[in-house]
């Protein structure tokens, strides 16, 4: 867009709907499955060639050659199974927009769903817990249209240089044993199961090989909560020196909940300021 000196450049705002996101997503996974079918077809052809060559050899009846032929045939059977599965996914793909939205909205851990002009589907969760302790409200994002990319944001307990979760750094989840579960669901068009599995990953994942120990993350979170509570605007120094007064004025379930609420309010205000620069335009669904 043309820019004139002295005026602010206005970027065109492209509103995206859930239906357009689904369409882009369907194109992405169709392309992935078609590539898989094609690559398996190439592998089968190559194996058939090899089998033909082996059968034409003078020692074709020897045990060694027969083992080779058998291995190529086995490989071809597996390739055909993969092809059939991929074709089945394409035929069965059920991405009914209304049904999917209804199901997602009925999920007890999901607060809202939006599609940004950046092409990301964002699922905002309610406050998630590890056993009984709050670990934050999260935003799970999946892009479609220019490659499938997955990001997870902790909207409650996060700050620069701190982990969003013991297995999420710079908004990128370190899925570990959840990798196949999550990405299989994405590639099979199982959006609901993908979101549900991501919520289970956030609330249940062990920390073996994660970015940090879960206990260490909880310690960091507690420090962050305290820092955010101190910075909370509108809370006087006198009140900060008297934590009991804060708790009495908050009227929440427990003292831990009250400091979380303080931290959340402060962070929420911060996110409101920064989100507008991250997401130009969002469509509530």
Residues that bind another protein (CB under 8 A): 85, 99, 103, 106-110, 166-167, 173-178, 180-181, 184-185, 188, 190, 192-193, 196-197, 199-201, 204-211
Q: Which conformational region is residue 53 in: left (phi greater than 0), alpha (psi within -120 to 50 degrees), or beta?
A: alpha
Our CB check for another protein shows the closer of 99 and 230 to be: 99
- Can you tell me the distance from the alpha carbon of 21 to that of 118, in angstroms, rounded to the nearest whole number? 10
Q: How far apart are CA 215 and CA 201, in angstroms?
A: 17
For residues 283 and 285, give the distance between their C-alpha atoms in angstroms, rounded to a whole number. 6
- Name which of 113 and 167 has its Cβ closer to another protein: 167
Which tokens go with 112?
Answer: 């809202």
Q: CB-wise, 110 or 142, nearer to another protein?
A: 110
Distance in Å, CB of 205 to another protein, minimum: 4
Tell which phi-psi region holds residue 37, choosing left (phi > 0), alpha (psi between -120 and 50) or beta.
alpha
Distance CA 105, CA 62 (A): 63
CB of 69 to another protein, least distance (A): 31
Tell which residue, 132, 35, 124, has the closest CA to residue 87: 35
CB 225, min distance to another protein, A: 22
> Which is nearest to 139 in space by CA: 175, 164, 174?
164
Our CB check for another protein shows the closer of 145 and 176 to be 176
Beta carbons of 124 and 137 less than 8 angstroms apart: yes
Nearer to another protein, 125 or 228 (CB): 125
Rounded to a whole number of angstroms, the minimum distance from the CB of residue 84 to another protein is 12
Choose between 195 and 271: whose C-beta lies nearer to another protein.
195
Q: Which helix (H) or strand (E) holds 225?
A: helix 214-231
Distance CA(135)–CA(127), nearest Å, equals: 7
Q: And the tokens for 245?
A: 């007064």
Smallest gap from Cβ 111 to another protein, in A, equals 11
- Closest contact distance (angstroms) between CB of 193 and another protein is 4
| DSSP-derived secondary structure letter, 136 | E
CB nearer to another protein: pick between 121 and 202: 202
Least distance (Å) from another protein to the CB of residue 109?
4
Nearer to another protein, 177 or 219 (CB): 177
CB of 35 to another protein, least distance (A): 19
Geometric angle at alpha carbon 201, from 229 and 257, rounded to 5° = 25
* Dist CA 282 CA 285 (whole Å): 9
């Amino acid at each position: 867009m043309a820019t004139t000196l002295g005026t602010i450049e206005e970027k065109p705002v492209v509103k995206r709907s859930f239906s357009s996101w689904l369409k882009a997503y369907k194109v992405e996974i169709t392309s992935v499955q078609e590539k898989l079918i094609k690559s398996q077809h190439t592998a089968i052809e190559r194996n058939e060639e090899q089998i033909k060559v082996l059968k034409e050899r003078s020692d074709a009846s020897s045990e060694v050659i027969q083992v080779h032929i058998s291995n190529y045939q086995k490989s071809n059977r597996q390739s055909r199974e993969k092809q059939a599965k991929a074709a089945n996914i394409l035929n069965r793909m059920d991405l009914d927009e209304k049904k999917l939205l209804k199901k997602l909205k009925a999920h007890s851990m999901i607060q809202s769903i939006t599609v940004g002009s950046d092409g990301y589907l964002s699922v905002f969760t309610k406050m998630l817990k590890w056993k009984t302790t709050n670990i934050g409200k999260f935003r799970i994002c999946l892009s479609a249209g220019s490659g499938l990319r997955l990001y997870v944001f902790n909207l409650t307990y996060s700050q620069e240089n701190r982990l969003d979760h013991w297995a999420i750094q710079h908004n990128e989840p370190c899925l570990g044993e959840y990798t196949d579960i999550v990405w299989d669901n994405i590639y099979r068009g199982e959006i609901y199961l993908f979101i549900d599995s991501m919520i289970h990953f956030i609330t249940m994942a062990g920390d073996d090989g994660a970015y940090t120990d879960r206990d260490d993350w909880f310690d960091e979170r507690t420090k962050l909560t305290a820092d955010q509570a101190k910075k909370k605007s509108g809370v006087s120094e006198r009140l900060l020196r008297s934590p009991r007064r804060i708790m009495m004025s908050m009227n929440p379930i427990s003292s831990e909940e009250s400091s979380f609420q303080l931290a959340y309010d402060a962070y929420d205000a911060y996110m409101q300021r920064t989100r507008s620069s991250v997401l130009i335009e969002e469509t509530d669904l």
